[in-house]
Amino acid sequence: MSDFTIGRADAAVAARSPSDLYRAVWRWHFYAGLLVLPFLITLAVTGALYLFRDEIDGLVYADLKHVEIQENTAVAAPSAMVTAALAAYPGTAVKYTDPPSPEDSVEITVNSQTAGRLAVYVNPYDGKVLGALPDRGTIMWTIRTLHSLKYFGSFARSLIEIAAGWSVLLVATGIYLWWPRAQTGGVLSVRGTPKRRVFWRDTHAVSGIFVGFFIVFLAVTGMPWSGVWGEKVNEWANGSNFGYPAGVRTSVPMSGEHLDHVAKTTWSLEQAQVPQSTGEGTTAISLDQAVTIFDRLGLHDGYAVNIPMQPKGVYTGSVYPDDVSQQRVVHLDQYSGEPLIDMSYADYGPLGKALEWGINVHMGQEFGLVNQLVLLVACMAIVLLAVSAAIMWWKRRPKGSLGVPPMPSDKRVFRGLIAMLAIGGILFPLVGLSLVVMLVLDWSYPHFRRAIRFAP
């Protein structure tokens, strides 16, 4: 019976390798695929679904999210809709969300007494309660949680940074391996039939060269959500001004609470601190008055209003529509109604603007249906890339071996490649750590196998 090994390579395969550099690149392309492809499949499938979150949730929860437009009918006051929501689901109202369009319902977020945090849906035309769901309890919120790996805990979130960094390595080495070397097949065309390995090799190469740009773009624009890199870059970009970009007026009393803990917000404002109201002891403005002020300030339809829970709390109006330029957060003093901080996309620094634009495209929002369809095709191609890689490997894999491509005979080539990879490891710490682990395993396993083999 043959032994199962990691590092053993078929001599015939080694002989066919055209150069030491090719061997080194092929070897690390294999390692990158081994680490990344399972993640790519999961991220591609959940990402493709989440591109159509509004459409899917709109169909599944049509009885709650959509209403019949009633022309020439005044909408109910926000306070009246909150009262109706609390009558149906007793508790405390913490957020009011304006309908994004005339055919959408109002969403009232309630900390209920018996069922936890609920999203209660109300018809804005007659003020009647349509029903409720657990807050962030829709199918698409579950898909989003799976996509970000938050479903599996905080540690799993760190894997996003590792997967993103190795995805870039996967594309870079893949382009080198794909590059035409006097051959015509497998560059832009697929040879053979599914029964032959060359068919899957060409399918992998052709789909990879098409989707490589999208993998790099999605990896880079997904980095802001990573556990280490994303947090540190956020601090570097916005950490010196209460978490707001430089130039935003913050000369008002600030609380220790972060906006991300109070309201759904953008990556750039996750660490932004919430200001405090200063008129404690006087009469607070009503939710109706706050909504009127937000309307007058011109917030985009569909904005959410967080209702103050403490004497020094503020009304926070926030909106993040498909058009990234319309993103905006406004904090109102709950007593005077004066805007304390008025923050828009135009106030972000160059890095913040670039990252927020990338995130918006990543989520399929910035260019409407075209954005969704292009990324849907890219996600499908990523799945094809991963499946063809697995089949190609299985057909090539020598019996009893994992089929790792051979080590280059000139180790200096290999060391040079690792030196270049180390640069990426410095920029992305978790990627660097995983690279070190892989280097140790790659170096130690053959020695370990030889020690076991020759042991008495």
43 assigned to some structural domain: no
Q: What is the pLDDT of residue 212?
A: 94
188 assigned to some structural domain: yes
Nearest to 47 by CA among 390, 388, 359: 359
Same domain, 123 and 154: no
Q: What is the pLDDT of residue 143?
A: 95
257 assigned to some structural domain: yes
Domain that holds residue 306: 247-348
* Pairwise pLDDT comparison (11 vs 135), residue with the higher score: 135
Q: Which residues pair with 304 in a beta bridge?
A: 97, 318
Quote the CA–CA distance of 244 and 234 in Å, as a whole number: 10
Q: What is the pLDDT of residue 61?
A: 97
User: pLDDT tens across 284-342, in order?
Assistant: 999 999 999 999 999 999 999 999 999 999 999 999 999 999 999 999 999 999 999 99
Same domain, 316 and 386: no
Contacts 24+ apart (CB under 8 A), 86-93: 86/110, 87/129, 88/120, 88/129, 88/132, 89/115, 89/118, 89/120, 89/129, 89/132, 90/114, 91/118, 92/309, 93/307
* Percent over 70 (pLDDT), the chain: 88
Q: Residue ranges of the alpha helices (H) in 266-367?
A: 287-297, 350-362
Same domain, 132 and 160: no
Number of domains in the chain: 3
Same domain, 267 and 339: yes
Quote the CA–CA distance of 346 and 327 in Å, as a whole number: 9
Averaged pLDDT for residues 172-196: 83
Quote the CA–CA distance of 26 and 5 in Å, as a whole number: 18
Instruction: Give the chain's radius of gyration (CA, Å).
Output: 27
Same domain, 27 and 172: yes
DSSP run (H or E) holding 304: strand 304-306
Domain final residue, candidates 117, 137, 157: 137
Same domain, 253 and 342: yes
Same domain, 251 and 334: yes
Q: What is the pLDDT of residue 210?
A: 92
Quote the CA–CA distance of 161 and 174 in Å, as a whole number: 20
Same domain, 268 and 339: yes
Q: What is the pLDDT of residue 4?
A: 32
Q: Which position has the token pair 């053993």?
A: 8
93 assigned to some structural domain: yes
Contact by Cβ (8 Å): 300, 269: no
Same domain, 92 and 170: no
Quote the CA–CA distance of 445 and 310 in Å, as a whole number: 60
Q: Is the pLDDT of residue 35 over 60?
A: yes
Whole-number mean pLDDT of the chain?
A: 85
Q: What is the pLDDT of residue 10?
A: 42
Q: What is the pLDDT of residue 446?
A: 64
Domain final residue, candidates 92, 109, 137: 137
353 assigned to some structural domain: no
Contact by Cβ (8 Å): 452, 4: no
46 assigned to some structural domain: no
Quote the CA–CA distance of 222 and 205 in Å, as a whole number: 24
17 — pLDDT class (breaks 50, 70, 90): very low
What is the pTM (predicted TM-score) of this model?
0.86
| CATH code: domain of residue 95 | 3.10.450
Same domain, 253 and 338: yes
Domain final residue, candidates 348, 381, 400: 348
42 assigned to some structural domain: no
Question: How far is C-alpha 284 from the geometric centre of its chain's CA atoms?
Answer: 38
User: pLDDT tens across 366-424, in order?
Assistant: 999 999 999 999 999 999 999 999 998 888 877 767 777 777 777 666 666 677 667 77
* Percent over 90 (pLDDT), the chain: 49
Averaged pLDDT for residues 209-236: 84
Q: Which residues pair with 93 in a beta bridge?
A: 110
Q: What is the pLDDT of residue 414?
A: 65
451 — pLDDT class (breaks 50, 70, 90): low
45 — pLDDT class (breaks 50, 70, 90): very high
359 — pLDDT class (breaks 50, 70, 90): very high
Q: What is the pLDDT of residue 420?
A: 65
Q: Is the pLDDT of residue 117 over 50?
A: yes
Averaged pLDDT for residues 427-456: 70
Contact by Cβ (8 Å): 259, 269: yes
50 assigned to some structural domain: no
Q: How many residues does the chain have?
A: 456
Same domain, 252 and 273: yes
Same domain, 261 and 340: yes
List all residues 6 or more positions away from 50 whose beta carbon is below 8 Å from its beta carbon. Answer: 140, 143, 144, 147, 363, 364
Tokens of 85: 């929501």
Averaged pLDDT for residues 192-209: 89
List all residues 6 or more positions away from 312 whose beta carbon is below 8 Å from its beta carbon. Answer: 253, 255, 276, 277, 278, 280
Averaged pLDDT for residues 39-48: 94
Quote the CA–CA distance of 51 and 36 in Å, as a whole number: 21
Q: Is the pLDDT of residue 241 over 80?
A: no
